[in-house]
Amino acid sequence: MIQFEGVTKTYKSGKREVHALNGIDLTVGTGEIYGVIGFSGAGKSSLIRTVNLLERPSAGTVKIHGRDISALSPKEIRAARKDIGMIFQHFNLLTSKTVFTNIAMPLILSKTPKAEIRTRVTELLEFVGLADQADKYPEQLSGGQKQRIGIARALATNPSVLLCDEATSALDPQTTQSILDLLREVNRKYKITILLITHEMAVIREVCDKVAVLEDGQVIEQGTVFDVFSNPQHATTRRFVRSVMNDELPEKLLKQIRNTDRQQPIYRIQFTGESVAYPLISQLSRRYDLELNVLFGNITELQGIPYGNLIVEFSGNPAEIQRALLEIRNSPVLAEELNSYAS
């Protein structure tokens, strides 16, 4: 478990002060994959680096498994770091060492017996799918393979926490996917708590259980990925969600609608989980004297839960529309008027 309590970080460069973190309260539960997203400069790196004290908080505490790590002595900090693996955007591997030695490095530092190192590294190479690359040098490998070395190295000392600082930002989408799959496996197989930071919402959707949105050094929204994606509260969060959910009315269609004289209400109807199977549209059109014009629709999966979106234009008698809406409110689906939202 990682607990941030009132964490602030202020950088001083000369007379200028940069407030990178302004009072962060966040709890990452044991075994979770927790994602922190934010635009460039939001403070993501500063935040994740306070966990292993690569950056010391200016105020507040970071507790790992209940222990305040900034209160530790340098020696204790080094010991604590062996329980916190970290992977980096640019991998940060030793170019002068083979893949094997790179992965073995944390064990060499703790003076682990040679035979034990060999067993552990072989096992890790197997796990990350690089068993046949042990004697190569990082430069001979692709970005994705380098990150696999990074992951194997981070796991060498059997940490309980893994920190990922933009671990997929230097990779193409396909490679990103395979690294995210690997992270999920790390989480499942070794029961490792993962804290990752990213500026890509797709990464959050793909692997995270929970998400926090960071802006100007503050958490502006947090919750389960499902809740945040299906019902984003803050404008910044909406922007992030929109970047991957594609549940907005196409711009062209929107203009077309606005340009006509039709003053028909447009509603976004959200189906989540079981309500996906709810036959709303057919029921409404059967029971009421209405034209239901579906302008846009899609269905995706969030954390294994189906999630659907329909944008529907209601045309007909206003009283009839009101009755239909009432029925929607009483059904398991969510509806919100879009005319105000979209304009």
Ligand X SMILES: Nc1ncnc2c1ncn2[C@@H]1O[C@H](COP(=O)(O)OP(=O)(O)OP(=O)(O)O)[C@@H](O)[C@H]1O
* CB nearer to Mg ion: pick between 45 and 133: 45
CA 178 to chain centroid: 15
Cβ proximity to Mg ion, 47 vs 155, nearer residue: 47
Cα separation, 78 vs 100, in Å, equals: 23
**Nearest Cα to Cα of residue 244 among 192, 292, 337, 176:** 176
Question: What distance lies between CA 203 and its chain's CA centroid?
Answer: 5
Q: Binding string to ligand X for residues 11 to 50, with x set by CB under 6 A, is what?
A: x-x----x-x-----------------x-xxxxxxx----
Question: Smallest distance, Å, CB 170 to Mg ion?
Answer: 12
- The residue ranges that bind other proteins (CB under 8 A) are 52, 54, 77-82, 84-86, 88, 90-97, 105-106, 108-110, 137, 153-154, 157, 163
Work out the number of other CB atoms within 10 angstroms of the CB of residue 207. Answer: 24
Cα separation, 164 vs 197, whole angstroms: 6
Q: How far is the CB of 199 from ligand X (least distance, A)?
A: 5
Q: Mapping DSSP to helix (H, G, I), strand (E, B) and coil, where does residue 68 land?
A: strand
Distance between CA atoms of 79 and 81, rounded to whole angstroms?
Answer: 5
Which residue number, 80 or 204, has a Cβ lying nearer to other proteins? 80
Q: Are β-strands 266-272 and 305-316 bridged in parallel, bridged antiparallel, or unpaired?
A: antiparallel
Distance of closest approach, residue 207 Cβ to ligand X, in angstroms: 18
Residue closer to ligand X (CB basis): 40 or 95: 40
As measured in angstroms, the least distance from the Cβ of 144 to other proteins is 18
Cβ neighbours of 200 (radius 10 Å): 18
At its nearest, how many Å lie between ligand X and the CB of residue 122?
A: 35
263, HSE (Cβ side, Cα atoms, 13 Å) = 2
Q: Looking at beta carbons only, is 18 or 94 nearer to ligand X?
A: 18
- Using rule CB under 5 A, residue 45 touches Mg ion: yes
Each residue 182-211 as x (binds ligand X by CB under 6 A) or -, in order, gives: -----------------x------------
Longest dimension (CA), the chain: 81
Tokens linked to 265: 């209400």
Q: How far apart are CA 17 and CA 201, in angstroms?
A: 30
Task: Identify whether the C-beta of residue 208 lies closer than 8 Å to the C-beta of residue 196.
Answer: yes
**Quick one: 8 or 198, whose CB is closer to Mg ion?**
198
Please choose which of Mg ion, other proteins, ligand X, none residue 108 contacts, taking the beta carbon within 5 to 8 angstroms, the exact cut-off set by kind. Answer: other proteins
Query: Given the complex with Mg ion, which of 214 and 254 has the nearer CB atom?
Result: 214
> Least distance in Å: CB of 40 to ligand X?
3
- Residues of the shown chain interacting with ligand X in the complex, contacts defined by CB under 6 A: 11, 13, 18, 20, 38, 40-46, 199
Q: Which residues bind Mg ion (CB under 5 A)?
A: 45
